[in-house]
Amino acid sequence: MKITVLGAGSWGATLAALLVDNGHDVVLWEIDDKRAKDLQDRKIKPFAAGVDLPEKLFISSGFDSFKDSGGILFAVPSQFMRSTCVLLKRNGVSLDGKLIISATKGIENDTLLRMSEVINEVFPNSYKNTAALSGPSHAEEVCRKIPTLVTSASVNPIIAEQCRKLFMNDYFRVYNQSDIVGVETGAALKNVFAIASGIVDGLKYGDNTKAAIVSRGLKELARIGAALGGREETFYGLSGAGDLMVTCFSKHSRNRAVGQAVGEGKTADEAEKNLGMIAEGVKNAISAFEIGKKLNVELPIINEVYDVLFNGKKPKDAVNALMTREAKHE
């Protein structure tokens, strides 16, 4: 299949390279003309992973490749998903009849829509042809062909299976399921708990505290996911517990790194600026907080992270607030 991958960041470039390895004809789309030309000329991955891009991969900033692509893979940052879709539509791109895959993890702030829902708003009737690809999968490891397991979720089982066949190989194993609501929710909101985990590191607390964040965070994740219409069991699989663990503990996790900087005394803006890359959890903390208010769901960790990031609450005070809450059954 010919596939166009939108977003030449670390994740988009890694997935594009994987698809080339699997024998597909792949175009990696980069919005910036100069950067697209540089990537095409030098074939260097856009992060320090020690692995270059395949020679067969074509990088472009044009729109011609969309016309004859059978699959469109979105790997743009979540806050740019809508604007990217609008840009495509304005330039005559149609998604009709194409396999659509979202590898973007996030929930839009203003609308509280999941990424597949944002795509469907701009391109009506695309939801039935959309799969979400998610799970514990750092680009820095996938590009080195380290064994990785993910989930392909769609309301349409045929679409979920098509997505699986595109990506499945001996180092990238894909499971299918139908709960796209749960998969996308887990993918987006686990980043908020990664920030909390990083704050724990910044405060120099230990494994006990981080384990508490992960286990109680998983409880909050399942609670908010179920309230949104997802299945609770989804959150104990790859796109829930699996993704939560890897992003809370990994040295590769941007969100954990931002949290650590905040725990050490930096503001959220300073932490993101020093990181030099987008940490989805900062924006998703807003979405998570607003969903909790809208649905009247108890989310103590999410609420404390929100207060630290946006209301100037000191990290130690947030931890104290969590520790001194009213005692209750687990």
Q: Which residues are identified as catalytic? A: 190
Q: Are 188 and 103 in contact (CB under 8 A)?
A: no
User: By C-alpha distance, which of 243, 256, 138, 242 is closest to 201?
Assistant: 256
Residue 74 β-bridge partners: 6, 102
Rg (CA), the chain: 19
Q: What are the φ and ψ backbone dihedral angles of 313, each rounded to 5 degrees? A: -70, 140
- Strands, DSSP E only, in the chain? 2-6, 25-29, 58-60, 71-74, 99-102, 130-134, 148-153, 172-177
